Structure 1
Amino acid sequence: MQPKCKQHIVKVITVVVMAISLSSCVSNKEILYFQDANQYNQTNVQYQENTIQPNDILAVTISAAIPEAAIPYNKNVNANAVNNSVDILKLQGYLVNPEGFIALPVLGKIKATQLTNSQLESQIVAQLENGGHLINPIVTVRLLNAKVTVLGEVQRPGTFSFTEQYISVPQALGYAGDLTINGKRNDILLIREVDATRKITHIDLTTTNWMDNPEYRLKPNDVLVVQPNRAKVKTAGYVGNVSTIVAIASVTLSAIILLTR
């Protein structure tokens, strides 16, 4: 083969390799978080209490001025066992059934769904006082099995429990080890089921103008799905990654050079 022909083949393969590599690249605008953060400084933060859902496990504690009077209204819990295991604490809690009720000692079934923890506390207090059970009772309600699931292009996908009353989308992604370089930051799916209604929302992490939306603070049982970006999708179709493409092209180029000498 003539030298000019060899040079032409080498140039063609080089151009192909460069084209494949460039087509798999992404820009900074697709990678950087909160790119308009300077425009979103000094803003008010609003908190909205979550409502209780079926399958929630609640810790309900009832106390009174005379502690002995409140004993019948609480489950008998082994304090040492509770201190040693959160899972045991969950087993001792009150499971909200599919109809939305919990069953308390003495008081019986109480509707819990579509109420916040504070509203349920007030409802139980009213029932204790109006029924002549206790005088000035104190009721505390807390969710024991709060969790969020993060799937897709993150370092550690999985389901994560949390004890805070409020958790944000960035916090949940932090539990999952942050997005991989292949994560699509401008289109994250949030799947939420509240009060027997499923809602799917698209979140753009490259901006900050969604932080005032209800989707910024997650609710228990929310699911985040991080989609692969265009670079990941393009490389996944034929080979695993860009380095593999370059390696194959290099071997092909070397073989052609050896064969055409």
Structure 2
Amino acid sequence: MRINVSALVPESVIPYNKVSSSAGGMSVELMQLDGYLVSENLTINFPILGILSVANMTTQNFAEFLKKKLEDDGHLRNPTVDVRLINAKVTVLGQVNQPGTFNFTEQNITLLQALGYAGDLTINGKREDVMIMRDEEGVRQITHIDLTSADWLEGPYNFIKPNDVIVVNPNNPKVKSAGFIGNIGTLLSVVSILLTTVVLITK
């Protein structure tokens, strides 16, 4: 994640910003910020403050937490803290127009936004069966979403988390057309999706 701490006196925040080594001669206004590596136990090593946990926090939650800590501990007066994700990605496979892995920086992108990155579902996509694979504390969770129902909009899978994998399964006509008497290209496409899904599940 990338964290930018600013204040009315720019020089006062220099110790609290992780600056790229290539930005040595840059002014405070133009300095290039480096990102923070989030460890396996969901912590970062922040300048001056040391180890801080980011577990169960959105970027906005952590920005508010860090701002309060900098103020309450007497480090800065009325600082502004901006936190953004870097290298966050979502993979969208199956019956979409542009399958692939997509980077995003927003904290709260929705399932529909992620599908939009992939060019939306094709006519062969099964809207009643969109699979999401998510790692929760090292455990792979798999759920199936029915896009034709509004129930999922209030659930935990409305918003995408980094490293989620979305698989749009083929509808029945698509599966039938992949029979031995159907188009061999379609068959190979379906088999490829299934194999990719198996690899991701067992990884």
TM-score of the aligned structures, taking structure 2 as reference length: 0.73
Q: Deviations over 1:76-108 (max 9, x none)?
A: 24479xx9xxxx96xx20010112111122222
Q: Report what 2:171 is aligned to.
A: 229
- Aligned CA-pair RMSD: 2.8
Q: Distance in 2 between matches of 1:214 and 1:227?
A: 20
Aligned-residue identity in percent: 52
Counterpart among 160, 178, 183 of residue 102 in structure 2: 160
Larger % of helix: which? 1
Relative to structure 1, is the Cα distance of residues 76 and 171 closer, same or farther in structure 2, using a 3 angstrom cutoff? Answer: closer
Distance 1:225 1:73, change over 3 A: same
Instruction: Say which one has the larger Rg.
Output: 1
Matched residue, 1:40 = none
Q: Which amino acid aligns with 2:147?
A: L
In structure 2, what is the Cα distance between the partners aligned to 1:110 and 1:164?
A: 21
Deviations 1:41-89 (A, max 9, x none): xxxxxxxxxxxxxxxxx11112233221111111224479xx9xxxx96
1:136-184 superposed Cα distances (whole Å, 9 cap, x missing partner): 3332222123321111122211111223332222222222122223222
Amino acid aligned to 1:165: Q
- Measure, in 2, the Cα distance between the counterparts of 1:117 and 1:134: 20
CA contact (8 A) 1:187 1:202 kept: yes
Aligned partner of 2:9 in structure 1 is 66
SS of the counterpart of 1:217? coil
CA distance in 1, matches of 2:118, 2:153: 20
In the alignment, the residues of structure 2 paired with residue 111 and residue 207 of structure 1 have an alpha-carbon distance, to the nearest angstrom, of 36
Structure 1 unpaired stretches of 5+? 1-57, 245-261
Matched residue, 2:60: 118
Which whole-Å CA distance do the structure 1 matches of 2:178 and 2:12 have between them?
66
Q: Distance in 2 between matches of 1:150 and 1:203?
A: 14
- Change in CA separation of 1:177 and 1:239 when aligned onto 2, cut-off 3 Å: farther
What TM-score results when the alignment is normalised by the length of structure 1? 0.59
State the Cα distance separating 1:198 from its structure 2 match. Answer: 3.4
CA distance in 2, matches of 1:127, 1:158: 39
Instruction: Give the CA deviation at 1:130.
Output: 4.1
Unpaired runs of at least 5, structure 2: 187-203
The DSSP-based 3-state class of the residue aligned with 2:162 is coil
Distance 1:119 1:178 in 2: 31
Q: Which amino acid aligns with 2:133?
A: I
Q: Secondary structure at the match of 1:165?
A: coil
Give the counterpart of 1:97 among 39, 45, 60: 39
Q: CA deviation at 1:221?
A: 2.1
Find the counterpart in structure 1 of residue 133 from structure 2. 191
> What's the secondary structure of 1:200's corresponding residue?
strand
Quick one: structure 1 residues 119 and 185, their matched pair in 2 at CA, closer, same or farther if it must change by over 3 Å?
closer
Amino acid at match of 1:61: N
Partner-residue secondary structure (3-state), 1:134: coil
